[in-house]
């Protein structure tokens, strides 16, 4: 499914290699874990759909090394992410911050859920009296009876 990405990466990288290389891994396990977590939320700037942790593109390797460099220098996670964003823009953030118009993105789901709940509640609560048809015919009652007994899915 990620055929094109790998293809693109293969074309970009002279010697294609698998994502994180052994020589990139930091000796400090805790720092490395933080680096991995940060890398997973940063998008590779040239290969569209992949994060820099999975990407084979050279620029992703540079970014991975840069992230580790900053962490070793003592930056906290947010400072590292900000530094990368300053250079490449918010395009590299897979986790778009809820600022400006992006608030709509984050609120769309909860708002729709709330709206749906209200409509569903109104639907359930609505008395049928207003729209109720005439009383049931004998045939319809018999059918209703069968429906009632037919209580399985």
Partner 1 sequence: MIAELGHFALVLSLGVALFQMIVPMIGAARDRAPWMESARPAAMAQFGLLGIAFAALTVAFVTSDFSVALVYENSHSAKPMIYKVSGVWGNHEGSMLLWVLILALFGAAAAVFGDNLPPRLRARVLSVQASIGSAFIAFILFTSNPFLRLDVPPFDGRDLNPLLQDPGLAFHPPFLYLGYVGLSMSFSFAVAALIEGRVDAAWARWVRPWTLAAWMFLTVGIALGSWWAYYELGWGGFWFWDPVENASFMPWLLAGALLHSAVVVEKRETMKAWTILLAIMAFGLSLTGTFIVRSGVLTSVHSFATDPARGVFILGILAVFVGGALTLFAARAGAMTTRTVFSPVSREGALLLNNLLLAVAAFVVFVGTLWPLVAEFAAGRKLSVGPPFFEKAFTPFMIVLAIALPIGTILPWKRGRMGRAVATLRPALVLAVAVAAAVFAVSTGKSALAVVGAALGAWLVAGSAVDLWTRAGGTPARLGRLPGADWGRALAHAGLGITFIGVSLLMAWQVEDIRVANIGDRMRIADYDVTLQAVDEVEGPNYTATIATMLVERGGRQVAVLHPEKRVYPVQAMPTTEAAITSGVFRDIYLVIGDPQKGGGWAVRSYVKPFAAWIWSGCAMMALGGLASLTDRRYRVAATARRGVARAVPAE
Contacting positions for partner 1 (CB under 8 A): 1-8, 10, 15-23, 25, 40-41, 43, 47-51, 54, 89-96, 100-102, 105-106, 108-109, 112-113, 116-117, 120-121, 123-124, 127-128, 131, 133, 143, 146-153
Residue 60: name the closest of 48, 72, 70, 71 by CA: 48
CA distances to 36, 81, 134 from 94, in Å:
14, 11, 57
For residue 88, the minimal CB distance to partner 1 (Å) is 10
For residue 66, the minimal CB distance to partner 1 (Å) is 18
Nearer to partner 1, 50 or 70 (CB): 50
CA distances to 55, 75, 125 from 62, in Å:
11, 17, 60
Nearer to partner 1, 40 or 87 (CB): 40
User: 127 CB contacts (<8 Å, ≥6 apart)?
Assistant: none
d(CA 115, CA 38): 35
For residue 74, the minimal CB distance to partner 1 (Å) is 24
Nearer to partner 1, 74 or 86 (CB): 86
Residue 58: name the closest of 40, 45, 67, 69 by CA: 45
Nearer to partner 1, 74 or 127 (CB): 127
């Amino acid at each position: 499914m990620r055929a094109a990405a790998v293809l693109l990466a293969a074309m970009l990288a002279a010697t294609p290699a698998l994502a994180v290389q052994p020589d990139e891994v930091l000796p400090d396990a805790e720092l490395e874990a933080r680096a991995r977590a940060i890398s997973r939320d940063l998008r590779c700037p040239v290969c569209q759909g992949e994060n820099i942790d999975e990407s084979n593109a050279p620029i992703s390797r540079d970014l991975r090394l840069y992230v580790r460099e900053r962490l070793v220098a003592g930056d906290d996670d947010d400072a590292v992410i900000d530094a990368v964003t300053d250079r490449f823009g918010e395009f590299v953030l897979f986790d778009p911050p809820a600022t400006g118009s992006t608030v709509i993105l984050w609120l769309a789901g909860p708002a729709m859920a709330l709206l749906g709940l209200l409509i569903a509640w109104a639907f359930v609560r609505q008395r049928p009296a207003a729209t109720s048809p005439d009383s049931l015919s004998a045939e319809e009652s018999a059918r209703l009876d069968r429906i009632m007994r037919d209580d399985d899915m």
